[in-house]
């Protein structure tokens, strides 16, 4: 079994005496595309900067390829960083920018020329090699930054919101480019992003961070389908978070009296009266004009709002008996038969719910 490429052991970071990242344990495997995902200010960049060596950890250890890095300066670490701001030298051409690091390392001329040519081809900048950065688009600048980092053949490529400055269309194109480069080069990519779709689309695994704390690490599918906390459920996708409690018949009942789960046998440690938070994804709620025979839970509601979102429709539906509000997603063809004001039946299957014991969170 290979050692992880990057390992954080009880890593904490503090600025001006204030802890901003707390006791993170994380292993990033060789060749993985790994994303640190979380809202603004949660500590993603702080973690990346410590791995790059720009800041020393407040506590804990950082290991890269089996070596403790805490005392190793950035230029001795087998990593390179790509920043959102590109950090290119404006007085140098594309070719010179890409060659810069190798020149510093006194790489022999013929090898340098060959590697620069290879890097330019890899990021498809052949036509722009003699331009200066101010004559490049945002996407082209980011390709230069990528080539400049990759030419050093790092063990791990660190990417700090690399696509953050690009518009949506270019962002999508560059996501495909990143994915291609990752596949072709087989390197470990560690990327910081606050964009959940980007993280879901690109990553082998994702670590969701909140307020300096690691909430969950796992594959996109695991995190989306089996979130461990209400925060992850809400952050990684659209959610209907409901809170209820366990009654004497082991049903989970909402505070307004709706039955959310009709018999909960899992986890005997949860007792009558305990509070439980549930999530049901909007696309997992089923809708019908008649009661839904194949759902364990079914109740009537009234459609309050329908929003057209291109590939699908999003509806806001209020439960008739309790007034609770549900977000429901339907494909356009399925939704044809519904309009605002229509009485519908909502339902779900037990296996489509995520349950969180509120006492544990």
List interacting residues with ligand ATP (CB under 6 A): 15-16, 20, 38, 40-46, 194
CA angle 230, 40, 235 (to 5 degrees): 25
Least Å distance between CB 45 and ligand ATP? Answer: 3
**133 vs 212, which CB is nearer to ligand ATP?**
212
Closest separation between CB of residue 277 and ligand ATP, Å?
25
Q: Residue 239 — φ and ψ, nearest 5°?
A: -135, 150
- Of 350, 344, 288, 354, residue with least CA distance to 316: 344
Closest approach, Cβ 282 to ligand ATP, in A, equals 26
Any idea how long the chain is? 361
224, 236 in Cβ contact below 8 A? Answer: yes
Count of Cβ atoms closer than 10 Å to residue 153 Cβ: 11
CB 20, min distance to ligand ATP, A:
4
Cα–Cα distance, 169 to 27 (Å, whole number): 32
Q: For residues 20 and 170, which CB has a smaller minimum distance to ligand ATP in the complex?
A: 20
312 burial type by CB count under 10 A (0-12 exposed, 13-18 middle, 19+ buried): middle
With respect to ligand ATP, which residue has the nearer C-beta, 46 or 229? 46
Nearest approach in angstroms of CB 220 to ligand ATP is 19
Q: With respect to ligand ATP, which residue has the nearer C-beta, 36 or 313? A: 36
Rounded to the nearest angstrom, the gap between the alpha carbon of residue 15 and the centroid of all alpha carbons in its chain is 25
Distance separating alpha carbons of residues 283 and 270, to the nearest angstrom:
28
- By DSSP bridging, strand 33-37 and strand 353-357 are unpaired
Q: Give the nearest distance from C-beta 17 to ligand ATP in angstroms.
A: 10
Residue among 40 and 110 whose Cβ is closer to ligand ATP? 40
CB closer to ligand ATP, 31 vs 164:
164
Contact, 46 vs 20, CB < 8 A? yes
Residue 215 or 324 with smaller CB distance to ligand ATP: 215
- How is residue 27 written in tokens? 């292993």
CB atoms within 10 A of CB 188: 26
Minimum distance from CB of 44 to ligand ATP (Å)? 4
Smallest gap, in angstroms, from Cβ of residue 178 to ligand ATP?
18
Tokens standing for residue 240: 């209907």
| Strands laid side by side in the 18-28 sheet | 18-28, 6-15, 59-64, 67-68
Q: Based on CB atoms, which residue is closest to ligand ATP, 208 or 346? A: 208
Which CB, 40 or 90, lies closer to ligand ATP? Answer: 40
* Closest to ligand ATP by CB, 235 or 338: 235
State the nearest-atom distance from the C-beta of 52 to ligand ATP, in Å.
Answer: 12
The 3-state DSSP class for residue 203 equals: coil
Quote the CA–CA distance of 207 and 235 in Å, as a whole number: 12
In the chain, the largest separation of any two C-alpha atoms, in whole Å, equals 79
Instruction: Tell me the Ramachandran region of residue 338: left when phi exceeds 0, alpha when psi lies from -120 to 50, beta otherwise.
Output: beta
CB of 194 to ligand ATP, least distance (A): 5
Tokens at 54, concatenated:
């720009």
């Amino acid at each position: 079994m290979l050692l992880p490429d990057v390992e954080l052991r009880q890593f904490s970071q503090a600025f001006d005496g204030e802890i901003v990242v707390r006791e993170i344990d994380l292993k990033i495997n060789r060749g993985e595309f790994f994303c640190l995902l979380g809202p603004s200010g949660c500590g993603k960049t702080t973690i990346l900067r410590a791995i790059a060596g720009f800041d020393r950890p407040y506590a804990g250890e950082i290991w890269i390829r089996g070596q403790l890095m805490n005392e190793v300066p950035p230029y001795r670490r087998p990593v390179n960083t790509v920043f959102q701001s590109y950090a290119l030298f404006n007085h140098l051409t594309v070719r010179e920018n890409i060659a810069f690091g190798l020149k510093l390392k006194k790489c022999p001329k013929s090898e340098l020329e060959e590697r620069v040519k290879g890097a330019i081809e890899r990021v498809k900048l052949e036509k722009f090699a003699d331009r200066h950065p101010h004559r490049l688009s945002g996407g082209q600048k980011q390709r230069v930054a990528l080539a400049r980092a990759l030419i050093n053949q790092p063990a791990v490529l660190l990417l700090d919101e690399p696509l953050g400055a690009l518009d949506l269309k270019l962002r999508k194109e560059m996501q495909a480019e990143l994915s291609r480069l990752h596949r072709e080069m087989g390197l470990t990519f560690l990327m910081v992003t606050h964009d959940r779709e980007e993280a879901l689309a690109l990553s082998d695994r994702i670590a969701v961070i909140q307020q300096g704390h690691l909430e969950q690490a796992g594959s996109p599918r695991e995190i989306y389908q089996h979130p461990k906390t209400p925060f992850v459920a809400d952050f990684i996708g659209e959610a209907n978070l409901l809170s209820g409690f366990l009654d004497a018949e082991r049903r989970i009942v909402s505070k307004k009296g709706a039955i959310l789960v009709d018999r909960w046998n899992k986890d005997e440690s949860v007792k009558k009266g305990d509070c439980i938070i549930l999530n049901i994804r909007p696309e997992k709620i089923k809708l019908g004009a008649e009661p839904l025979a194949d759902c364990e839970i079914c109740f009537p509601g009234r459609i309050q709002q329908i929003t057209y979102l291109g590939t699908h429709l999003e509806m806001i539906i209020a439960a008739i008996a309790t007034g609770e509000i549900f977000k429901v997603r339907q494909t356009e063809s399925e939704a044809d038969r519904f309009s605002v004001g229509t009485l519908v039946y909502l339902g779900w299957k037990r296996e489509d719910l995520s349950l969180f014991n509120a006492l544990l969170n």
